Amino acid sequence: MAYTEEELKKELETKEYEYGFYTDIESDTFPNGLNEEIVIAISKKKEEPEWMTLWRLESFKIWKEMVEPEWANVKYKKPDFQAISYYSAPNKKPKYDSLDEVDPELLDTFKKLGISLDEQKKLAGVAVDIVMDSVSVATTFKKTLAEKGIIFCSISEAIREHPELVKKYLGSVVPQKDNFYAALNSAVFSDGSFCYIPKGVRCPMELSTYFRINQAGTGQFERTLVIADEGSYVSYLEGCTAPSRDENQLHAAVVELIALDDSEIKYSTVQNWFPGNKEGVGGVFNFVTKRGLCEKNAKISWTQVETGSAVTWKYPSCILKGDNSIGEFYSIAVTNNYQQADTGTKMIHLGKNTRSTIISKGISAGKSQNSYRGLVQVNSRADNARNFSQCDSLLMGNECGAHTFPYIEVRNKSAQIEHEATTSKIGEDQIFYCNQRGINTEKAIALIVNGFSKEVLNKLPMEFAVEAQKLLEISLEGSVG
Amino acid sequence: MLKINNLHARVEDKEILRGINLTVNAGEVHAIMGPNGSGKSTLAAVIAGKEEFEITEGEVYLEGENLDETSPEDRAHKGIFLSFQYPVEIPGVSVTNFMKTAINESRKAKGLDDMPAKDMLKLIREKSEMLEIDRKFLSRSLNEGFSGGEKKRNEIFQMAMLEPKLAILDETDSGLDIDALRIVANGVNKLKSKDNAVIVITHYQRLLEYIVPDFVHVLHNGKIVKSGTKDLALELEEKGYDWLKQETVV
Ligand SMILES: Nc1ncnc2c1ncn2[C@@H]1O[C@H](COP(=O)(O)OP(=O)(O)OP(=O)(O)O)[C@@H](O)[C@H]1O
Ligand SMILES: [Mg+2]
């Protein structure tokens, strides 16, 4: 046989985590375990005002009463929440005016990741707010943004400097009691990003944050809050990679987006947490709650490229509260080896003439399981709501799985809902055709996968799309050849 | 250029090629004809290195080199091009992007850098004009939703872009309308030189009026049962294959 399933599989299996290294930066880490004292200590460490400490304690109380959910189509050993350290921050944390002052080892880490900050700076005006082990250590382009009244800083800083905004919006889209992981995050979140775009302002650059888990056994609890005031626009990029570890690492982030009247938020993610080795050992557990609220005529687009994590559980959602508001979800999820992904979206139509679009591309290889789970809910008041969903799956080999779970709840007769789904396999004939044109099998797979994902890749900002394509290649082909 | 020596090939338990001998010199055009299922496409695929077919006996040489251990992509890098009887669709990959990748992969194999974008554009413009291909066409997904004739014309466009040493055209004429046939044949003729060679697989004499062969071979049951000049094609057109089949039985 030309290119047998067997060979294809082998080739895919030789993929090892490229960014599997560990940065030795002195950290200040809390003892393992979680109780009220730890929650208070985190809050103190971050010099938070009392209202914030109380909010965390309330969240902790809620969390204690909750049980970990079983609903996703994934199997994993549940983390022991008392065996995790809930705070870790790089030790040497002076205020940097320029990148030259940043710990060289940290910069080296970024180099290994292929993130050249200098390049990033030049590139189309990307401001990079780096979150490394929970605390942001460098922020660029702050001045340009400040001139427009845009606030882009760490959430800790926002809590201190802009309490009125944080108080008003934190937990307004993802309440503390929303789900188990959201409650946990609310109690112990270490850091994250905050962004506010004032009325009528178009953010002149892509806002970007790189996340990275670093300390062994440290749970990572990011909290992101993006507020687009009336008539404003912002495009926000989030990218992550993680070093290779033996123990499972828990990542439970919460992202809240608030799009006020006539505003637009584009939120793009490239996620590449350590997926575990090819035997399925190690890897990050990624349980994320991402949700956006659209007021009148507002629009939120979620675009994500998910290549990493051992277990991913993630449903970026839109609450289309205002009339004429628009929600979009574009997703590429790649799973290989023993990875499990259960991802999708929820589009909640509350307002009249609300529209949503869902394009989901799942690529599975190895022994992985890739599930799309989507809910489209149309409320009784949501006249003329429209949804279009398209879920395509691409399979490589015979041992992986692709599953689609579309849930549709319609309580208004005027709703128009369309759902399309396809499943295809990379064929030997396609590979041979490419081979015959001088394209080797590895490159051929990359080409076919990129073609399959194109509709979503096109939604990403240019420089991010290039990175995403690279990631797709890495996660499917490995370093062979 | 190409030398095939007592070639036997099979897939699973089925022997398809049963002792093919064929020599193609630089500058020559060979036509291969033969009834459906006689093994023409299989021969083309085996020359291109499709591993689905197991070679049980015999060898294929390109410019004196045994291709036994050569992968399909390396054969392509060495200058073998196959215009597929049934071109494959690759959704989401534009013709341009596909060609760019193919050309740069070949260059990489030769230790060259990527072709500069400017040169690539010039090449695309030149070749698409030669084959009268609308440039809009080149931004469409490869073969996806292409009509039968468009697929074939696109194969020859790729051939023109890659400028192979040995081109094998597997029923490139089927599906082409009368005008397209002329355009495509003219394109092939323009690419012909004393340094390269063409093997045309066809069922019809018509194509051979445009691309005039130096030799015509008839394949039947996995063997070349008759070889001749272009007059043989005319004879086949008139008489069909039965007389040859009977001859082989005898
Ligand atoms: N993968 C395969 N598995 C089984 N049989 C095959 C396979 N490929 C080819 N064959 C058989 O081998 C024989 C030769 O096929 P081939 O495609 O080479 O014929 P052809 O001469 O090109 O015919 P046509 O003129 O119809 O294109 C046919 O009987 C075909 O069914
Ligand atoms: Mg054929």
Distance of CA B46 from the midpoint of ligand 2 (Å): 12
Q: What is the DSSP string of B117-166?
A: HHHHHHHHHHHHHHTT--GGGGGSEETTT--HHHHHHHHHHHHHHH--SE
Distance of CA B11 from the midpoint of ligand 1 (Å): 10
- Which residue of B15, B33, B41, B152 sits with most ligand 1 atoms within 8 Å of its CB, as the best mutation to test the pocket? B41
Is A292 inside any structural domain?
yes
Spatial neighbors of B12 by CB under 8 A, at least 6 apart, are none
Q: How many CB atoms lie within 10 A of CB A35?
A: 12
Nearest-Cα residue of chain B relative to residue A438: B73
Chain-chain contact of B162 with A438 (C-beta, under 8 angstroms): yes
Report the candidate in A382, A278, A255 with the shortest Cα–Cα distance to residue A338.
Answer: A278
Is B85 inside any structural domain?
yes
Which of A314, A335, A363 is at the close of a domain?
Answer: A314
Is B180 inside any structural domain?
yes
> What rounded mean pLDDT belongs to chain B?
93
Residue A50 pLDDT > 50, yes or no? yes
Q: Residue B155's domain spans which residues?
A: 2-244
Q: What is the mean pLDDT of residues A280-298?
A: 88
Element spanning A465, H or E: helix A462-477
Report the candidate in A255, A133, A143, A252 with the shortest Cα–Cα distance to residue A194.
Answer: A255
Q: Is B16 touching ligand 1 by the criterion CB < 6 Å?
A: yes
* Closest protein CA for atom 5 of ligand 1: B11
Q: Residue A52's domain spans which residues?
A: 5-314
Q: Report yes or no: B221 and B8 within 8 Å, Cβ to Cβ.
A: no
Express as a percent the part of chain A with pLDDT over 70: 75
Q: Is B14 touching ligand 1 by the criterion CB < 6 Å?
A: yes
Query: 111-170 in B: which are within 8 Å (CB) of A?
Result: 141, 158, 162
Residue A405 pLDDT > 50, yes or no? yes
Token pair belonging to A453: 């994902």
Residue A398 pLDDT > 50, yes or no? yes
What's this model's pTM, rounded to 2 decimal places? 0.80
Q: How far is B139 from chain A (nearest CA, A)?
A: 12
Is B162 inside any structural domain?
yes
Q: Is B11 touching ligand 1 by the criterion CB < 6 Å?
A: yes
Tell which atom from ligand 1 comes closest to the C-alpha of B35: 25
Element spanning A395, H or E: strand A386-395
> How would residue A252 be classed by pLDDT, with cut points 50, 70 and 90?
confident
Q: What is the mean pLDDT of residues A451-473?
A: 81
Tell which atom from ligand 1 comes closest to the C-alpha of B53: 1
Cβ neighbours of B92 in A, within 8 Å: 450-455
CA A264, distance to chain mean position in Å, is 19
Is A358 inside any structural domain?
no
The residue of A359, A436, A441, A448 whose CB has the most chain B CBs within 10 angstroms, and thus the best one to mutate to test that interface, is A436
**Total domains in the fold of chain B:** 1
> Which has more pLDDT, A370 or B143?
B143
pLDDT tens digits, one per residue of B49-101 = 999 999 999 999 999 999 999 999 999 999 999 999 999 999 999 999 999 99
Chain-chain contact of A432 with B101 (C-beta, under 8 angstroms): no
> How would residue A222 be classed by pLDDT, with cut points 50, 70 and 90?
confident
Q: What is the ipTM of this complex?
A: 0.96
- The Cα–Cα gap between B8 and B43 comes to 10
C-alpha distances (whole Å) from A251 to each of A52, A176, A248, A285 are 22, 17, 10, 6
Which of A314, A330, A364 is at the close of a domain?
Answer: A314
Residue B193 pLDDT > 50, yes or no? yes
State the pLDDT at residue A25. Answer: 44
Token pair belonging to B155: 């194969």
Distance of CA A6 from the midpoint of ligand 2 (Å): 28
Q: Report yes or no: A332 and A471 within 8 Å, Cβ to Cβ.
A: no
Which of A283, A314, A345 is at the close of a domain?
Answer: A314
Cβ neighbours of B106 in A, within 8 Å: 438
Residue A311 pLDDT > 80, yes or no? no
CATH number at residue B198: 3.40.50.300
> How would residue A4 be classed by pLDDT, with cut points 50, 70 and 90?
very low
Nearest-Cα residue of chain B relative to residue A433: B88
Chain-chain contact of B98 with A447 (C-beta, under 8 angstroms): yes
* Closest protein CA for atom 31 of ligand 1: B37
Q: Is B36 touching ligand 1 by the criterion CB < 6 Å?
A: yes
pLDDT tens digits, one per residue of A161-183 = 999 999 999 999 999 999 999 99
Is B249 inside any structural domain?
no
Q: How far is A5 from chain B (nearest CA, A)?
A: 12
Residue A260 falls in which region: left (phi positive, over 0), alpha (psi -120 to 50) or beta? beta
Is B42 inside any structural domain?
yes
Q: Are residues A236 and A108 in the same domain?
A: yes
pLDDT tens digits, one per residue of A406-449 = 899 999 999 999 999 999 888 889 999 999 999 999 889 989 99
Cβ-count burial A127-161 (b if 16+ within 10 Å, e if not): bbbbbbbbbbbbbbbeeebeeeebbbbbbbbbbbe
Is A408 inside any structural domain?
no
Cβ neighbours of B48 in A, within 8 Å: 436
Is A299 inside any structural domain?
yes
State the pLDDT at residue A353. Answer: 97
Q: How wide is the angle at C-alpha B140 spanned by C-alphas B138 and B145, nearest 5°?
A: 120
Element spanning A53, H or E: helix A50-65
Chain-chain contact of A447 with B93 (C-beta, under 8 angstroms): yes
> How would residue A99 be classed by pLDDT, with cut points 50, 70 and 90?
low
A149 DSSP 8-state letter: T
* Closest protein CA for atom 4 of ligand 1: B11
Q: How far is A459 from chain B (nearest CA, A)?
A: 14
Spatial neighbors of A378 by CB under 8 A, at least 6 apart, are A349, A385, A387, A409, A410, A411, A412, A415, A417
Q: What is the DSSP string of chain B?
A: -EEEEEEEEEETTEEEEEEEEEEE-TT-EEEEE--TTSSHHHHHHHHHT-TTSEEEEEEEEETTEE-TT--HHHHHHTTEEEE-SSPPPEEEEEHHHHHHHHHHHHHHHTTPPPPPHHHHHHHHHHHHHHTT--GGGGGSEETTT--HHHHHHHHHHHHHHH--SEEEEESTTTT--HHHHHHHHHHHHHH--TT-EEEEE-S-HHHHHHS--SEEEEEETTEEEEEE-HHHHHHHHHH-SHHHHHHHH-
> How would residue A122 be classed by pLDDT, with cut points 50, 70 and 90?
very low
Q: Is B41 touching ligand 1 by the criterion CB < 6 Å?
A: yes
Cβ neighbours of A11 in B, within 8 Å: none
> How would residue B45 be classed by pLDDT, with cut points 50, 70 and 90?
very high
Q: Is B96 on the interface with A (CB under 8 A)?
A: no
**Total domains in the fold of chain A:** 2
Q: In what order do the strands lie in the sheet with B215-220?
A: B80-83, B166-170, B197-201, B29-33, B215-220, B223-228
Is A344 inside any structural domain?
no
> How would residue B222 be classed by pLDDT, with cut points 50, 70 and 90?
very high
- Can you name the residues that pair with A154 across neighbouring β-strands? A193
Q: How far is A364 from chain B (nearest CA, A)?
A: 17
State the pLDDT at residue A365. Answer: 84
- Can you give the C-alpha Rg of chain B in angstroms? 18
Choose among B76, B92, B141: nearest Cβ to A437.
Answer: B76
Cβ neighbours of B98 in A, within 8 Å: 437, 447
Element spanning A387, H or E: strand A386-395
- The Cα–Cα gap between A358 and A302 comes to 10
